[in-house]
Amino acid sequence: MISVFGRKDLGTGILRNQTNGGEGGWGHIPWNKGMKLPPEHCKKISESSKGRPKTEEHKRKIGLANIGHIAWNKGRNTCPNHQKETNRKMMLERYNNGSLDQKGENNFNAKEWIIEYKDGKVIRIKSLHSWAKEQGYSKAGLRNLTIGKWKRYRDLVSIKKVN
């Protein structure tokens, strides 16, 4: 528009602009734009905000603000080495926490079984696999007895799963 109406200082028009425009954007440019903070200052800021508890309202507001945002790593493939290392670390952490110690009878998903010996003794166990390993029975032999393919396996007559 300056070129249409002209500048008064140049004698070409009525506008009092001192320039033809296009030198910059709107408003003030901060004095520290583009400057980086010293690493010590960044570390100090980081340390001051670590461990500060967030209120439930703050957590809710963060959650609402993140609705609809796509994660920065969505759709990216991780390299196999990184994936293996992450899995190893997670398994190690679970093992150290005791959550991987759920083998045999401690496993809440383990099924219960009723086992009958040929001398008439009946026992009830949890986790057939662990019991077989402890007693020296093969999994294949127990499976064949369970599905009815064999009538007996060593000193066992029947194995039935408890519902």
Q: Would you state the pLDDT for residue 106?
A: 65
**E-assigned strand segments in 103-155:** 112-117, 122-126
Sorted by where each begins, the domain ranges of the chain are 79-103, 110-161
Query: Which tens digits make up the pLDDT trace of 83-110?
Result: 899 988 888 887 777 665 566 666 667 7
User: What is the C-alpha to C-alpha distance for residues 107 and 90, in angstroms, rounded to an integer?
Assistant: 19
Residues 112 and 124 sit within 8 Å (Cβ to Cβ): yes
Contacts of 110 (CB under 8 A, 6+ apart): 104, 126, 127, 130
Residue 158 in contact with residue 149, Cβ under 8 Å?
no
Residue position matching structure tokens 């009815």? 148
Which pLDDT score is estimated for 157? 93
Per-residue pLDDT band for 66 (boundaries 50, 70, 90) equals very high
**pTM, rounded to two decimals:** 0.38
In 3D space, the residue among 151, 120, 118, 146 whose CA is nearest the CA of residue 131 turns out to be: 146
Compute the half-sphere exposure of residue 138: CA atoms within 13 Å on the CB side of its CA. 6
List phi, psi (to 5°) of 27. Answer: 75, -170
